[in-house]
Structure 1
Amino acid sequence: MTDPKTVLSVEGVSVDTIPSGAKPIVRNIGFTVAEGETVCIVGESGSGKSVTSMAIMGLLPKDALRVTAGRILLDGEDILTASPARMRELRAARVAMVFQEPMTALNPVRTVGDQIDEVLRLHTKLPPAERKKRVLTMLERVHMPDVDRIYRSYPHELSGGQRQRIVIAMALILRPRLLLADEPTTALDVTTQKQILHLIKELQEQEKTAVIFVTHDFGVVSEIADRIVVMNRGDLVETGSRDAILTNPQQDYTRMLVASVPSLIPRRDPVDTGPKVLEVVGLDKRYGKKSMFSDPSVMAAQGIGFTVRKGEITGIIGESGSGKSTVARCVMRLTDPTDGAVIVNGTDIASARNLKTVRKQVQYIFQDPYRSLNPRRTIGQSLMEGLVNYGMPEAEARRKVGETLELVNLPAAVMSRYPHQFSGGQRQRLAIARAVVMEPDLLIADEAVSALDVTVQAQVLRLFEDIRDRTGIAILFITHDLRVAAQICNTVVVMQRGRIVEQGAAKDVLAHPAHAYTRALIDAAPAPDWDFQNFRPAVKVS
Structure 2
Amino acid sequence: MTNPTILKIDDLSVNVIGSARDQRVVKNLSVEIKAGETVCVVGESGSGKSVTSLSIMGLLPKDGLKATSGSIFVENEDILVASTRRLRELRATRMAMVFQEPMTALNPVEKVGDQIEEVLRVHTRLGKRERRKKVLAMLESVQLPEIDRMYGSYPHQLSGGQRQRIVIAMALILEPRLLIADEPTTALDVTTQKQILALIRDLQKKHNTAVLFITHDFGVVAEIADRIVVMKDGEVVEVGTCADILARPREDYTRMLVSSVPSLIPRKRTAMTSEIVLEVAGLNKTYTEKGFFGRGRSVPAAQDINLTVRRGEIVGIVGESGSGKSTVARCTVRLIDPTSGAIRIQGTDIAQFTGSTLRPMRDRIQIVFQDPYRSLNPRLRVGESIIEGLLNFGTRREQALAMAAELMRVVGLEPDAMRRYPHQFSGGQRQRICIARALALEPDILVADEAVSALDVSVQAQVLALIEEIRVRTGIAVLFITHDLRVAAQICDTIVVMQNGRIVEDGTAESVLVSPKQDYTRALIDAAPGRDWDFQNFRPARHP
The match for 2:395 is 392
Corresponding letter in the other structure for 2:327: T
Deviations 1:288-318 (A, max 9, x none): 2899x98711111111001100000000000
How far off is 1:437 after superposition?
A: 1.3
The match for 1:309 is 310
CA distance, structure 1, for counterparts of residue 268 and residue 338 of structure 2: 31
Query: SS at 2:187's partner residue?
Result: coil
User: Is 2:84 the partner of 1:69?
Assistant: no
CA distance, structure 2, for counterparts of residue 401 and residue 367 of structure 1: 22
Query: SS at 1:25's partner residue?
Result: strand
How far off is 1:529 after superposition?
A: 2.2
| Pairing of 1:20-419 with structure 2 (within 5 A) | 20=19, 21-288=21-288, 296-353=297-354, 354-419=357-422
Sequence identity (%): 64
CA distance, structure 2, for counterparts of residue 272 and residue 18 of structure 1: 56
How far off is 1:335 after superposition?
A: 1.2
CA distance, structure 2, for counterparts of residue 527 and residue 249 of structure 1: 17
The match for 1:435 is 438
The match for 2:480 is 477
The match for 1:7 is 6
Query: SS at 2:405's partner residue?
Result: helix
How far off is 1:280 after superposition?
A: 0.9
Is the CA contact (8 Å cut-off) linking 2:14 and 2:67 kept in structure 1? Answer: yes
Scaled by the length of structure 1, what TM-score is found? 0.97
How far off is 1:284 after superposition?
A: 0.8
Deviations 1:382-435 (A, max 9, x none): 111111211111111111111111111111111211111111100000000001
User: Is 2:436 the partner of 1:449?
Assistant: no
The match for 1:532 is 535
- Where structure 1 has 5 or more consecutive residues not aligned to the other structure, the ranges are none
Number of aligned positions between the proteins = 539
How far off is 1:357 after superposition?
A: 2.8
Corresponding letter in the other structure for 2:316: G
CA distance, structure 2, for counterparts of residue 270 and residue 336 of structure 1: 35
Query: SS at 1:297's partner residue?
Result: strand
How far off is 1:22 after superposition?
A: 3.4
The match for 1:519 is 522
CA distance, structure 2, for counterparts of residue 79 and residue 433 of structure 1: 45
Query: SS at 2:297's partner residue?
Result: coil
How far off is 1:352 after superposition?
A: 1.9
How far off is 1:373 after superposition?
A: 1.1
Q: Kindly tell me: are residues 239 and 417 of structure 1, through their superposed partners in 2, closer, same or farther at Cα, counting changes over 3 Å? A: same
Is the CA contact (8 Å cut-off) linking 2:262 and 2:490 kept in structure 1? Answer: yes
Is the CA contact (8 Å cut-off) linking 1:268 and 1:489 kept in structure 2? Answer: no
RMSD of the TM alignment (CA)?
Answer: 1.6
Which stretch of structure 1 is more off in the superposition, 383-392 or 460-469?
A: 383-392
- Where structure 2 has 5 or more consecutive residues not aligned to the other structure, the ranges are none
Corresponding letter in the other structure for 1:15: V
Corresponding letter in the other structure for 1:496: Q
CA distance, structure 2, for counterparts of residue 262 and residue 72 of structure 1: 36
Query: SS at 2:184's partner residue?
Result: coil
Corresponding letter in the other structure for 1:528: R
Scaled by the length of structure 2, what TM-score is found? 0.97
Deviations 1:11-34 (A, max 9, x none): 111111212543421011111100
Of residues 480, 491, 494, the one that matches 1:491 is: 494
Corresponding letter in the other structure for 1:17: V
Corresponding letter in the other structure for 2:17: I
**Moved segments of 4+, more than 3 Å:** 20-23
How far off is 1:486 after superposition?
A: 0.3
The match for 1:464 is 467
Deviations 1:221-274 (A, max 9, x none): 000000000000001000010000000000000000000000000014254311
Q: Kindly tell me: are residues 386 and 4 of structure 1, through their superposed partners in 2, closer, same or farther at Cα, counting changes over 3 Å? A: closer
CA distance, structure 2, for counterparts of residue 403 and residue 268 of structure 1: 32
